[in-house]
Structure 1
Amino acid sequence: MDGDNIQADSDFGSDFDDDFDPLVGANDPALPSERYLDRELSWLAFNQRVLELAEDPDLPVLERANFLAIFASNLDEFFMVRVAGLKRRILTGLAVPTNVGRAPQDVLSDISQAAHALQNRHALAFHDLVRPALAEQGIEVVNWDTLSIAERESLRDYFSNQIFPVLMPLAVDPAHPFPYISGLSINLAIRVRNSKTGKQEFARLKVPPMLPRFVRVDRAEPVEHLRFITLEDLIANHLGDLFPGMEILEHHVFRVTRNEDVEIEEDETENLIKALEKELLRRRFGPPIRLEITEDMDEVTLGLLVRELDVTDKEVYRLPAPLDLGGLFDFSRIDRPDLHFAKHVPTTAVQLMPPEPNSEPDVFAAISRGDILLHHPYESFATSVQAFLEQAAADPHVLAIKQTLYRTSGDSPIVEALIDAAESGKQVLALVEIKARFDEQANISWARKLEKAGVHVVYGLVGLKTHCKLALVVRQEQGVLRHYSHIGTGNYNPKTSRIYEDLGLLTADAQVGKDLTRLFNELSGYAIEKKFKRLLVAPLHLRKALLKRINDETAAALDGRPAGIRIKVNSMVDEAIIDALYRASQAGVKVDMWVRGICSLKPGVEGMSENIRVRSILGRYLEHSRIFSFHNNGDPQVFIGSADMMHRNLDRRVEALVRLVAPEHLAEIDSLFARAMDDRTSSWWLSETGEWTRHDRDDSGQLLDDMQNRLMQQIGHRKRLAIRR
């Protein structure tokens, strides 16, 4: 999953590199052969950091439950995409190079061992830590056996009226073959005995996914005292209603994860949308790659499932009930502010605040005064990027709007603004990436809606995903056309903008406008523009440009001049970039890396990377911005944009970075890195062995500084000062 996926508002960075191309730079004789950390195990280590937040007693308990759900959702997608991809390649005989030079079967074995350990730890975190902590605050997850007679009667009425009518038990016998088990669904495997013939039968019952996963036991209880029972537990205790006249012998819960990756040969299809829709239908029937069962399942039932689903013993995960703790996302809606993170209301960027208290803001006038660097969610997306596009749609002086859309929300005001602009006669171009993983169907729907409104919809370049985050507005001012641009690190998604940390630049710089005009022409037509002034663009030259800047810092250090590199990304996997950073370290360049998820680089190895530090920060917001900063002989070159350091981003996606030039913006980025890498900031530190160690307390046991909370305070203070002025 790309780090942008909005599944349950929870994606904490499962950025899977589905690139299996041969290693780049793997034969460099000046560097050790075993110089990369395994990317799959590194991703699992990332999800372990998410789990450590769930285990943290200092966090509000409903947020801990949310982190348990995030862990579960992340791991589901890891199996559906990454593990499934590895297995498919092995089974079909395709080459599967790995960045650690080991056989893919061995990698799968290591993944299985690590995933089993993590899933068991995840289950224990719920049962031994979070569930009791919730109960202490009056929120209980209970079992049917603990309920009173009155409570059971009340739930029986609920079952009869709200659940029973939508249940569909499926028998398995010579006349009824084993049914298809949909991916990620919760199911009951049921064995019954015919009271007349004595014959045992098997049935499968799917737990309806459209019903609440956790059912209130007593709806009259105040919010301070809530009791829930899982939907599958409630159903399991009413199986007699579904199988009248039969004796219920056994019932157990199970869940299947399937290969849900999508593959399209774009060069061989004339209609990308139709081909993608066909592939999405096929996705539902991908082969199983994980079977989760409750720990009480008997061997007869397990044997049947293993045989019918064709899974191996290593693909079976025996866990304590309940399965699928992703259902805990429901708890995030419980109205107990004392058990959530303190509410934070994003501020309007100071530069975008109206000059007079009750006057209407003018985004174009604000941008005209100078570049504006936005930092979401501390600064509001609604009063900045969204307001920029809405004002452009309504402004009669605006002639054209061009925009990329990778992921957006279901009721997106961004899409509505583009539709309004087209319907008012403006030229509107929307580059919709319909291959954004797990958002394909939603993006197809948006593309068709935009086309019906008169928007020019294009789907980018064949063989490439368009991942850059760009918007260009062309406005006529006193007979002259002026360009207003936005380049961001995150999607045009008002929903995720409230929980994803991202940066964005609003600028009226003519050069940026020209760069974006050329880039949009390339994406929508046949132009090939190889050079840009303030942009670095993949796949044409982003890799080369970054390698050149890393090598320039290396040369400076070798000449005895000051040098430094600082990088913030979601994933650091690309071998050529990593090798260049190793060589920079060997030359004496200090390299600071701030990585949210996967990191294949080994820091702190004597003679290779002793000058490299790697830190990771996780918290209430998902760190999502990408920053590249180079000392450049005292004239810093700093870029922000959409690209991670992965093969797919550098070679098979359209990505864009923009260079920041305003001194105050360079100072702001410098301050961000200084705080992130400070030993007094709570973070995880990566060792050369691939272990991440959490540093959240000082030697005296005091909690270290929470960077995200600190930024909320600082940016809020900045706004208050601006208002006083």
Structure 2
Amino acid sequence: MISADFLKSDLPEPQDPGGRDLAGPARFVNRELSWLGFNWRVLEEAENPKVPLLERLRFLSISATNLDEFYTVRVAGLRELYREGHKTPAADGLTPEEQLDLIDADARRLMGRQQVILESLQHEMRENGVFVLRRDELTEADRTFLGEVFLHRVFPVLSPLAVDPAHPFPFIPNMGLSLALMLERRRDGRSLMALLPIPQQIDRFVALPSEPGLTRFLPLEELLLLNIDQLFPGYRTQGSCTFRVLRDSDLEVEEEAEDLVREFETALKRRRRGEVVRMKISSEAPEALKSVIMRELHVTSQEVIEVTGLIGISDLRELVIDTRADLLWPSFTPRIPERVQDHDGDMFAAIRQKDMLLHHPYETFDMVVRFLQQAAQDPDVVAIKQTLYRTSKDSPIVQALCDAAEEGKSVTALVELKARFDEAANIRQSRRLERSGAHVVYGFVDWKTHAKISTVVRREGDHLVTYTHYGTGNYHPITARIYTDLSFFTCDPALGRDATKVFNYLSGYAQPETLENLKISPHRMKDFLLEQFEAEAEHARAGRPAQIWAKMNSLIEPDVIDGLYRASQAGVKIDLVIRGICGIRPGVKGLSENIRVKSIVGRFLEHSRIVCFGNGHGLPSKGSRVFISSADWMGRNLNRRVETLVETTNATVKAQIVSQIMAANLADQAQSWVMRPDGHFERATLSPGEFAFNCHRFFMENPSLSGRGSAGAGDVPVLTHEAD
């Protein structure tokens, strides 16, 4: 059982604001610095001794990947504002220039820490038989093996490039890693500068034959340096360095583009040639090489990071190998819901029985895929509608939609072309769907469609029944293995009508006048949330229980934060589980003494969006109002995207969300960080010998309430206390 004691409902002593003017910008935490704080938490998992060794390496890689994307998008945008002379401050009062200075200082510290952690991990890896070698550590047998690898698997895709008046400095793509060389011709001593781009199509680390119990790798750049004579015959190396560039990856599209797909294809080509926003270069780089590279790439010293260690830490993910299961998390197989098994795998029969909420990855995402595959094959299904924001390369969902269209069913797919870094993949998917006969629409030019909805219309007797899926995460079978998300299946007519109206809006621009159980942004969702905050405040002022529980990835929208502050000041107890960016200041006297914020960083990536209102009854309670959503509380989600906020009224589904999912998240201590009023997070503290509850382990070991079948839900652990 999850004991109510784990919720630790006693709030810490509120802190004095310390002279800050909390009526002004100081009431907000800066978005970019808060994001960096989240990435520090990810990085610190790479040092957590309770995490298996190669999983720590994975966390290190993720922290580097996150930082790369942050620079190519957020820092690139701030840099553009600064260069254009914009001095308008953000909500927290910092100008673009001030933010860039603070980001640069913190990010440099973070990158330095990455190298320190990598050195420590490599030492521990060697103790466990995993070696990343230098070329001077190779045996003759290794060199013979690598000679064959180089000749047959690497050499054909290399493009050695001289740099001189006849060979201008080449274009280096975003994320491009290159060797720069100072060469000397043996016969006459003539100097030559050359570049050797390291192909992104080849693994960064070459696996070497090893004895049992040993795993050995050589970085690709070491292999290239080992074979310079074959790439530049007649030359000797005088100096070398490795460098890598990040480019502005923002995407601009003309609003009046007649053919949106073609316009996006053109914009993607422009993005690949964006300006360099950061360059990492080996600290031992010869000064002459460094100067030429900086001049040719038009980078300043402020945009250069000198690295002692590995450049391209994100590539370390290649070393997280399945063959070393002893250094990974214990294997976990997602469950198939018992109710689906009771109906011999028939998703429609299981949903007809009653609403069903699946908690991924603990319940397999294959059920979402099965829902659409069965719809494609079922002769009684007449129509399918589906949103696609991100999905996998060889998506079984797209294949099911294509199969359905080819079977003569009416298939409508809303493909979001503006899903960052997935634009090209989504263009390919849309072409494929169109070839199969599906209707493909692209929503709005100004707004992204981020809602996760699927409807299947099925003929049953004399009626058409709409089966609906609402999700908090993408229709992506790969990321669903590590992202915690919710899938809500229902054949409730009202929720089906709501979904149909949203699809009609996306395809025909006709804004729905009424929705029964659904709120959507950018039209009513934010206003509705603010109204619910005020309703809780009214309950508090009237002396009734007043509580808000919410869980999401990011909270930064100023109006929402101010609404939560007002509710806190009225006496509403507010518990927030915010994985990443958080702009609210909890626990400040006179402002937010009733607000607590925590972040969970662990084996799985917390991604589900939930909000629960006590509704005058407190939490957990049967009288509460419970919602799942596709939207974080950010300006883009609430003001510039099409998103959904779905109210769940089924008693079992509500209990699962409130007394199981939210209760376990709030009870977690093993993976939790607590936010302080200054915006920093600290690991949850434990008394000596105190048990640290782990919500991920709890969910792996216990089935979800609404997925139980004939066995019933009576033995499923939930929060033991329920308010009136």
TM-score > 0.5, shorter chain as reference: yes
Distance in 1 between the 2:458 and 2:148 partners? 62
Cross-structure match for 1:87: 79
Sort the Cα spacing of 1:373 and 1:646 in 2 relative to 1 into closer, same or farther, 3 A.
same
Residue 235 (structure 1) aligned to one of 224, 227, 242: 224
For 1:608, the equivalent position in structure 2 comes to 591
**Contact in 2 for aligned 1:84/1:289 (Cα 8 Å):** yes
Give unmatched runs, 5+ long, in structure 2: 1-20, 618-622, 714-724
Q: Which amino acid aligns with 1:99?
A: A
Cα deviation for residue 196 of structure 1 reads 4.0
Alignment of 1:325-364 (within 5 A): 325-355=313-343, 360-364=344-348
Q: Deviations over 1:69-88 (max 9, x none)?
A: 11111111111111111112
Q: 2:668 & 2:394 partners in 1: Cα distance?
A: 42
Q: Does 1:78 align with 2:66?
A: no
Which amino acid letter does the alignment assign opposite residue 527 of structure 2? K
Give the letter for the 2:286 counterpart. D
Note the C-alpha offset of 1:198.
3.0
Q: 1:333 deviation in Å?
A: 3.0
- Aligned-residue identity in percent: 45
2:211 equivalent in structure 1 = 221
Task: Report the secondary structure of 1:633's partner residue.
Answer: coil
Relative to structure 1, the CA distance from residue 667 to residue 69 in structure 2 (aligned partners, 3 Å threshold; closer, same or farther) is same
Once the two structures are superposed, the pairs formed by residues 272-283 of structure 1 within 5 Å of their partners are 272-283=260-271
Deviation of residue 655 (structure 1)?
Answer: 0.2
Name the SS of the counterpart of 2:703 in structure 1. helix
Separation in structure 2 between the aligned mates of residue 210 and residue 442 of structure 1, nearest angstrom: 17
Residue in structure 2 matched with residue 169 of structure 1 by the alignment: 160
For residues 369-388 of structure 1, what are the alpha-carbon distances to aligned partners after superposition, in whole Å with 9 as ceiling and x for unaligned? 11111111100111x21111
Q: Which residue of 2 aligns with 1:674?
A: 663
Question: Closer, same or farther in 2 for the Cα pair 1:610/1:492, shift >3 Å?
Answer: same
TM-score w.r.t. the length of structure 2 is 0.92
1:147 aligns with 2:147: no
Opposite residue 134 of structure 1, the aligned amino acid is M
Q: 1:716 to 1:529 in 2, by over 3 A?
A: closer
The equivalent position to 1:546 in structure 2, one of 529, 532, 537, is 529
The Cα offsets for residues 569-604 of structure 1, whole Å up to 9 and x where unpaired, read as 100010000011011111111110001110011111
Q: Specify the alignment match of 1:207 in structure 2.
A: 198
Q: Distance in 2 between matches of 1:711 and 1:411?
A: 29
Q: Find the partner of 1:708 among 696, 703, 722.
A: 696
CA contact (8 A) 1:571 1:645 kept: yes
Structure 2 residue identity aligned to 1:566: W
Q: Which amino acid aligns with 2:360?
A: H
Q: CA deviation at 1:110?
A: 0.6
Work out whether 1:407 is the aligned partner of 2:390: yes
The root-mean-square deviation of aligned C-alpha atoms, in Å, is 1.9
Find out whether 1:51 has 2:43 as its counterpart.
yes
The C-alpha deviation readout for 1:316-335, integer Å capped at 9, x for no partner, is: 11112321111111123331
* Cα drift, residue 717 of structure 1: 11
Contact 1:389 1:414 in 2 (8 A): yes
Match of residue 477 from structure 1: 460
Structure 1 pair 647/680, CA: closer, same or farther in 2 (3 Å)? closer
Structure 2: how far apart are the matches of 1:452 and 1:566?
Answer: 45
8 Å CA contact 2:667–2:695 kept in 1: the answer is: no
Question: For residues 567 and 154 of structure 1, do their structure 2 counterparts lie closer, same or farther at Cα, with a shift above 3 Å needed?
Answer: same
For 1:57 and 1:315, locate their aligned partners in 2 and report how far apart those are by CA, in whole Å. Answer: 34
Q: Distance in 1 between matches of 2:578 and 2:57?
A: 24
- Whether the 8 Å contact between 1:530 and 1:540 is mirrored in structure 2 is no
1:429 corresponds to which of 400, 412, 416? 412
Is 2:185 aligned against 1:194?
yes
Q: SS of the counterpart of 2:548?
A: strand
Q: Is residue 245 of structure 2 the alignment partner of residue 256 of structure 1?
A: yes
Q: Deviation per CA, 1:175-201, whole angstroms, max 9, x where unpaired?
A: 111111111121101011233443322
Deviation at 1:417, TM superposition (A): 1.0
Residues in 1 aligned to 2:388 and 2:702: alpha-carbon distance in whole angstroms = 31
CA deviation map 1:592-638 (0-9, x unaligned)? 00011100111111110111110111112111100011111122111
Code of the aligned partner of 1:178: F
Q: Which moved more, 1:195-204 or 1:299-308?
A: 195-204
- In structure 1, the partner of 2:446 is 463
When residues 425 and 720 of structure 1 are mapped into structure 2, their CA distance, relative to the original with a 3 A threshold, is: closer
Q: Which residue pairs with 2:682 in the alignment? A: 693
1:433/1:465 contact within 8 Å kept? yes
Residue 375, structure 1, aligned to residue 354, structure 2? no
1:290-689 to structure 2, matched below 5 A, reads 290-355=278-343, 360-382=344-366, 384-634=367-617, 635-671=623-659, 672-678=661-667, 680-689=669-678
**Aligned counterparts of 1:187 and 1:656: Cα–Cα separation in 2:** 44
Residue 203 of structure 1: how far off its partner (Å): 0.9
Task: Give the structure 1 partner of residue 59 of structure 2.
Answer: 67
Instruction: State the TM-score, normalized to the length of structure 1.
Output: 0.92
2:123 paired residue number: 132
Q: Is the 8 A contact 2:240 2:286 kept in 1?
A: no
* Partner Cα distance (1:239, 1:256) in 2: 23
- AA aligned opposite 1:363: M
State the number of aligned residues. Answer: 687
3-state SS of 1:374 partner? strand
Moved over 6 A (4+): 716-721
What is the CA deviation profile of residues 354-405 of structure 1, one whole-angstrom value per residue up to 9, with x for unaligned ones? Answer: 24xxxx32211111111111111100111x2111111111111111111101
The code of the aligned residue for 1:225 comes to L
| Distance (Å, rounded) in 1 between the aligned partners of 2:371 and 2:100 | 47
Tell me if structure 2 keeps the 8 A contact 1:31–1:608: no
Q: CA deviation at 1:649?
A: 0.4
2:656·2:704 contact (CA, 8 Å) conserved in 1?
no
Partners of 1:31 and 1:716 in 2: CA distance: 43
Q: For the Cα contact (< 8 Å) 1:86–1:96, is it kept in 2?
A: no
Letter of the 1:366 counterpart? A
Any stretches of 5+ residues in structure 1 without a counterpart? 1-28
Q: In 1, Cα distance between the equivalents of 2:69 and 2:668?
A: 33
Alignment deviations for residues 44-88 of structure 1 (CA, whole Å, 9 cap, x no partner): 111111111111122111111111111111111111111111112
